[in-house]
């Protein structure tokens, strides 16, 4: 696991074993996850989405606490995965990072609570699975328009983005901040500290 420039965002680069039958890799290891992040990943929900080429999903985030941490992987095709720091007061507020997730290198991304998440399908039937620390709760879920010029995410220009009605009508970052919808860095770091305090050390 390698931490990105945004605190709480990690990319996982597994070792893939290839032979004449196909391949094998471990895409999640609880002990390695805890050693890197300092806390475990509680599993409350597992999702799978299949997207046509050009589909753009996000930017999604949830109220903190409890937020919704995600562990994301593409099991078929390829997507451009984006993490956005939406935590007001964060030293990297509004910064975003992109990671290519595909069925060849088998990278995964961990997105901590309070961070925004989006992805663009680069292939037909791009299939993404993700583990979630909390279940879907509509009242706590929010979205920022993925094409908001204030975020200025550099999406590939050769694809015409296909957005859901919900994502296409999402508000801009400035409006979300004005309405007090964005999570605060202080609340998020306090939540992370609480998670670290409850991590049970592995037995020898």
Residues assigned a catalytic role: 60, 130
- C-beta separation of 83 from 97 below 8 A: yes
Separation between Cα atoms, residue 151 and residue 142, nearest integer Å: 16
> Phi and psi at residue 142, in whole multiples of 5°?
-140, 170
3-state secondary structure of 155: coil
Q: What angle do CA 52, 162, 177 make, to 5 degrees?
A: 130
Which of 107, 125, 119, 124 lies closest to 81 in space, CA to CA? 119
């Amino acid at each position: 696991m390698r931490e990105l420039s945004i605190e709480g965002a990690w990319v996982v680069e597994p070792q893939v074993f290839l032979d004449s039958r196909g391949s094998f890799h471990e895409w999640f290891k609880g002990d390695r996850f805890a050693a890197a992040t300092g806390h475990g990943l509680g599993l409350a929900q597992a999702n799978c989405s299949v997207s046509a080429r050009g589909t753009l999903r996000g930017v999604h985030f949830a109220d903190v606490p409890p937020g919704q941490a995600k562990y994301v992987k593409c099991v078929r095709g390829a997507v451009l995965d984006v993490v956005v720091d939406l935590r007001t007061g964060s030293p990297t507020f509004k910064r975003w990072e992109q990671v290519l997730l595909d069925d060849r290198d088998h990278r995964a991304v961990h997105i901590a609570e309070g961070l925004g998440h989006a992805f663009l399908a680069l292939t037909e039937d791009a299939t993404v699975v993700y583990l979630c620390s909390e279940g879907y709760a509509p009242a706590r879920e929010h979205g920022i328009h993925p094409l908001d010029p204030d975020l200025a995410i550099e999406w590939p220009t050769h694809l015409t983005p296909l957005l859901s009605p919900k994502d296409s009508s999402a508000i801009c970052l400035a409006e979300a901040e004005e309405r007090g919808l964005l999570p605060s860095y202080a609340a998020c770091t306090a939540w992370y500290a609480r998670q670290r305090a409850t991590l049970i050390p592995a037995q020898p």
